[in-house]
């Protein structure tokens, strides 16, 4: 699977992400027109990612967000009551998205080798498509309250458990060698995170997301195959 194939399977455009956020939070959002809400969420999220990349979420004020989006403070508050609620909305969507994508690609394969490769690539490709979201989730998790931080840790554990389960399946079927699969999954996870945290480094070296994903798979094959 190449990145272009992934994009044919997963629709994670800005509009689709904002539409899903609207649907997931209809109980608290005071805007009833979906088209208006989606359009303004696109402005809000783009502004949040741009501002926080420059000075962090803690340094962003509601007035900063108002100026960047062109929406008045009064126009922002129907979408969320506070910065903390906005942060939680962004984090929750990212967590749901990751789980949905991994489950989709896990279900496409029976064999452990094929399943592992599909899941590794899907995570890297998703982080390429939604890179500002991934970068924000990683960097700003420290500002969440206790319950939201717990949810982030649970998502981290979930993504590693998906890898562990596949590695254990492969060991049972004889295609993966016996080893510490929890540690192996942690290392794989770190390589996946490297892509969206150090994207600038690979761009400078003209390494594409397909190149990077294939190299990660080469490392995993060399280390895990029986």
Give the pLDDT confidence of 38-70 residue by residue, as tens digits. 999 999 999 999 998 888 888 899 999 999 999
For the chain, what are the domain ranges? 3-224
User: Thinking of the domain 3-224, which architecture would CATH place it in?
Assistant: Orthogonal Bundle (1.10)
Percent of the chain at pLDDT above 70? Answer: 99
Number of C-beta neighbours around residue 80 at 10 A: 20
Residues 125, 75: Cα–Cα separation, whole Å: 34
For residues 209 and 194, the answer to whether their CB atoms sit within 8 Å is: no
Quick one: how far is CA 115 from the chain centroid? Answer: 19
- Helix 34-55 to helix 62-69 angle (10° resolution) is 120
Stated pTM of the model: 0.86
pLDDT for the residue 91: 85
| CA distance readout (Å), 224 to 161, 166, 211, 212 | 16, 11, 20, 18
| Statement: residue 13 has pLDDT above 70 | no
Residue 121 confidence class, pLDDT cut points 50, 70, 90: very high
The model's pLDDT over 181-194, given as tens digits with 9 standing for 90+, comes to 999 999 999 999 99
* H/E run at residue 36: helix 34-55
Over residues 191-224, the pLDDT tens digits come to 999 999 999 999 999 999 999 999 999 999 999 9
Closest CA to 12 of 92, 85, 88, 98: 98
List Cα–Cα distances, 69 to 15, 21, 49, 106, 122, in angstroms.
Answer: 16, 18, 12, 38, 31
The per-residue pLDDT of the chain, averaged, comes to 90
Question: Is a pLDDT exceeding 70 seen at residue 12?
Answer: no
């Amino acid at each position: 699977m190449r990145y272009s194939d992934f994009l044919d399977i997963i629709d994670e455009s800005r509009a689709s992400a904002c539409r899903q956020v609207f649907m997931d939070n209809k109980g608290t959002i005071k805007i009833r027109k979906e088209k208006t809400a989606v359009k303004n969420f696109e402005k809000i999220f783009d502004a949040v990612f741009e501002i926080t990349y420059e000075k962090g979420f803690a340094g962003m004020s509601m007035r900063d967000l108002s100026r960047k989006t062109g929406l008045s403070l009064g126009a922002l508050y129907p979408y969320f009551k506070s910065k903390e609620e906005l942060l939680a909305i962004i984090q929750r969507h990212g967590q749901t998205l990751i789980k949905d994508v991994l489950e989709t690609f896990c279900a496409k394969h029976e064999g452990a080798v094929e399943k592992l490769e599909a899941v590794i690539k899907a995570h890297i490709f998703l982080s390429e498509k939604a890179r500002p979201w991934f970068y924000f989730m990683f960097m700003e998790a420290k500002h969440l309250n206790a319950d939201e931080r717990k949810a982030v840790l649970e998502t981290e554990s979930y993504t590693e458990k998906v890898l562990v389960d596949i590695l254990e399946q492969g060991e049972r079927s004889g295609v993966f060698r016996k080893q510490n699969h929890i540690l192996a999954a942690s290392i794989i996870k770190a390589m996946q995170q490297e892509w969206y945290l150090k994207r600038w480094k690979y761009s400078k070296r003209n390494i594409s997301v397909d190149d990077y994903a294939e190299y990660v798979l080469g490392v995993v094959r060399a280390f895990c195959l029986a």
